[in-house]
Structures are given as C-alpha cells and as structure tokens.
Structure 1
C-alpha cells in the first residue's frame, strides 16, 4: 500500500473509532465489527462489517453513522458497506483495549 492510501486508511480507522453501538460503550472498530477496509485507485471505499448479533436493534443507526462519517473524509469518493455474518462475530474479535474497557481482562 502506498503512502497516500495508507494515510487515507489511517484516517478511516480514526473515523471508525468514533462509531459506537449505542448499547455497548466501545467503538465498533475495537469491538471487531469491521472485517476489512478496501480502498480502490479512485478512493472508493468498501467496508466489510458485521454486528454483534444479526438481530442488532441499532443496525440502521450504526450503518448510517459509519456511512456518514467515512464519507465526510475529504479524500473519500464513495463508501460501500457490505454487511456479513460470515464469520459470525464473537468476543475473540475484540481488541485488548475493548476487553479491558468492558472489564473482561
């Protein structure tokens, strides 16, 4: 990945860390809900993500929050969100920081 794409990737991660599931006091990136962030040569961003549960009551809110925040980055041309439940989310996907914040360490 070249320096410009890496810088944009870093900005996207910073922005994703401002997105929260309203029921969990940890951002969705550290919760492990973001599986992949792909940026093409035209700065179109594709984010593969999941929810902690397929029946997540905050799903629409979270998707809209991710879409709006990542689109707000000046260099981003467009954002495509791919929602998947394969593999299903589990607690092992959380960062150590998330586990610590939730009292699991």
Structure 2
C-alpha cells in the first residue's frame, strides 16, 4: 500500500522525511516513517510544510505528544519555516504500510 505515499519529493521534502525518521512512536519504539504513518510531505516556496499522516488508531492517546515532536523535527530542517499537520483517516493505516525494518523490529513476520 506504500504506493499511496507521495514518491516525488523535492530535496527539501526528502530532508523533512529524514527528520521525521527521528520521531519515535513511544508505544511501539519505531519511527513514524518506518511505521508507514507519513502519507505525504509538501513544502511550498515560503517554507511552509504540510505533513499528511495518520495514527495507528483513531483514539491514539499520544496524538498531541507526537504533533509537538513532528513540528519540532520538521522545523529543524533548514528552509522550513512552519509546519502544519494534516491528520487523515483515509486510507486507513494497516500493518502492511510498515517497512520491513519495522516489522522485523516488532517481531512481525510475513
């Protein structure tokens, strides 16, 4: 299902994606990128970044904590001046979105 993620990222958007690999889901101990929670990154000419993402569940109790960590990581990238998070529920997150690394780290085989 990873094909739904934006694949044509600019160099700046790739830097944002790299920065998001440092944001760890505290419940699972895996970063948001490898969990497949990041659906898209867009940075406009003014440096405003929109991160389109989801959470593993709608009632995720750590959403606000993650939002602060995401904003800090994104704004740490040179050239990014602001960050908005576009939280979506479609397409729904499934374990199929996780990278092989995340599956191995969590002991999921298949």
- Report the TM-score when normalising by structure 2: 0.85
- What is the aligned counterpart of 2:69 among 54, 62, 65? 65
Question: How much does 1:80 deviate?
Answer: 1.1
After superposition, residues 73-84 of structure 1 pair within 5 angstroms as: 73-84=77-88
Deviation by residue 1:10-58 (Cα, 9 ceiling, x = unmatched): 2111110010111001101110110000122222111101100011111
Q: Whole-Å Cα distance in 1 between the matches of residues 13 and 50 of structure 2? A: 11
RMSD after superposition: 1.3
Runs of 4+ displaced beyond 6 Å:
none
Gaps of 5+ in 1: none
1:44 aligns with 2:48: yes
Query: Please, which runs of 5 or more residues in structure 2 have no aligned partner?
Result: 1-8
Shift of 1:82: 0.4
Question: What is the number of residues matched between the two proteins?
Answer: 101
CA distance in 1, matches of 2:87, 2:18: 20
